[in-house]
Amino acid sequence: MSSVDEQEFANVDLEAVRESLKTWYRENHREFPWRETCEPYEILISEVMSQQTQLGRVVEAWEAFLEHWPTVEELAEADRGDVVTFWTAHSLGYNNRAKYLHEAAQQVVEEYDSEFPSEPDELQELMGVGPYTANAVASFAFNTGDAVVDTNVKRVLYRAFDVPDDDSAFESSANQLMPAGDSRIWNNALMELGGVVCGQTPACDDGGCPWRAWCQAYESGDFTAPDVPTQPSFEGSRRQFRGRVVRALGENEGVELDALGPKVRVDYTPDGTYGREWLRGLLDDLAEDGLVTIDEFDDSTVVTLRR
């Protein structure tokens, strides 16, 4: 991967951002069998299958495929017609992908002595393996990939760190964000966050997003993204204000209730409609989600962001 130039994230605690996402992934990710293996052949099959098919349906096809052809050598020796027939029978999309997969297996056996190359550039030499798939296999099998940038990742980066909607900006930011030499867990985690929590309609609180404390969209309430041109309709101001609380506490260590109020709403007045009671409601929710701690003293209430 490219060297970590942390300039673009100068005001962000990168270590905390990275650790929070990795921890969230370890504790929450969906279990797919190809996430349990480092075998490049098995990972390549899962990547090619999931290009046109929903992940849930890929599981069965992937298992059946590996039962038929458990190793790259066995696939290389298979009759191409059988591979294509399998592909069609499992509704896996373009038959060409099956033909390419078969040809790639023959390449691995003949040109690489049955050992998959481990670098993205070399993997791209295999038939039908483009830059995205090569990088995914390098990451998940060998931990040697660059940051993966797909639609889900772009959506997350755009929302969380205000990365402009530009392919080279996404690529550069994604690589700066990725911890060096950790592409396996990192790429899985970031794609999972975009796929499960930061979807077109994000589930910031309900999904327990680990990046709420840093996310620009969570702070501003603007959840548009390159693939979400208009604001998701669910978005209410309450979420927006919760984001502001988190942001304000991120910048200040331990804030008294009435000092916090004006940072959240310009029209905050302690006894008004948007006063202590209203703010306390937001804070209680955030405390329940484990994001803030509320300390009651005789004459004050102090709120702190949990880190």
Residues known to be catalytic: 47
Closest CB to ligand SF4 among 159 and 184? 159
DSSP 15-63: HHHHHHHHHHHHHHPPP-GGGG---HHHHHHHHHHTTTS-HHHHHHHHH
**Binding-residue total with ligand SF4 (CB under 6 A):** 14
- Closer of 174 and 257 to ligand SF4 (Cβ): 174
- In the bound state with ligand SF4, the residue whose beta carbon lies nearer, of 211 and 268, is 211
What's the CA gap between 214 and 230, in Å, rounded? Answer: 22
> What are the tokens at 174?
């994604």
Tokens of 191: 């794609």
Stretch that binds ligand SF4, among 104-112, 194-202, 254-262, 267-275 (CB under 6 A): 194-202
Applying CB under 6 A, among 140, 218, 241, 268 the residue interacting with ligand SF4 is 218
Instruction: Please tell me whether residue 154 binds ligand SF4 under the rule CB under 6 A.
Output: no
Contact residue for ligand SF4 among 105, 134, 160, 163 (CB under 6 A) = 160
Rounded Cα gap, residues 253 and 84, in angstroms:
61
Which residue in the block uniquely carries the two structure tokens 């077109």? 200
Q: If binding is defined by CB under 6 A, does position 202 make contact with ligand SF4?
A: yes
Q: Tell whether residue 211 is a contact of ligand SF4 (CB under 6 A).
A: yes
Closest separation in Å from C-beta 218 to ligand SF4: 4
Contact residue for ligand SF4 among 153, 156, 185, 245 (CB under 6 A): 156
Q: Where do we find the tokens 């940038």?
A: 149
Cβ neighbors of 156 (< 8 A, separation 6 or more) are 190, 193, 194, 198, 211
Residue with tokens 């098995």: 42
**Site for ligand SF4 (CB under 6 A): which residue of 217, 255, 260, 291?**
217
- Residues linked to residue 228 through DSSP beta bridges, in sequence order: 225
- The nearest distance, CB 234 to ligand SF4, in angstroms, is 12
The answer to whether 163 contacts ligand SF4 (rule: CB under 6 A) is no
- Helices and strands in the chain: count of H runs, count of E runs: 15, 3
Residues making contact with ligand SF4 (CB under 6 A): 156, 159-160, 197-198, 202, 204, 209, 211-212, 215, 217-218, 223
